[in-house]
Amino acid sequence: MTGEYNLIEVERNLKNKLPEALPIYHEYLPKLGLEIIPMPHPDKVLGIKGHIHRKDVPVYVSAVIGEADFLVTGDKKGFIKVPRKPRAKMKIVTPAEFVQKFLPEILRRIIT
C-alpha cells in the first residue's frame, strides 16, 4: 500500500534526478499491484497540521487512512510529534529498521 502523494513524489524525484528511469518506473509500477490511497481530503489533515512538516502530512494521513502497520520513512524524526491516537498501532520506522527487524517476520508469515 502507498499513498497517491507518495507516487507523485517518486515521479517528481525521478524526473529531476534520474529521468532515464521513468519508463521503467511506469512499466513496473502497475505490476506491483499496490493499493493506492487517494490524496487525503483537507478535512482529514486538520488534526495533524502543526505536528509534522507540511510535506509529510499527506504521507502520514494516507498511512492512517489505509490502516498501515508500518510507515517506512527516511525521516523518522519528522514524525515524533504526531499524536499517538490517530496512528494507533502503526510503527514508524526507517527503511533499514524495516528490513532488519520486521521484513523477516513478515516473509515468514507469507511463506508458511
**What is the predicted pLDDT for the residue at 85?**
66
Mean pLDDT of 93-99: 90
Segment 23-77, tens digit of pLDDT: 999 999 999 999 999 998 887 777 777 788 888 889 998 998 899 999 999 988 8
**What is the predicted pLDDT for the residue at 41?**
84
Q: What's the rounded Cα separation, in Å, for the pair 103 and 40?
A: 27
Nearest to 86 by CA among 55, 38, 52, 37: 52
**What is the predicted pLDDT for the residue at 108?**
81
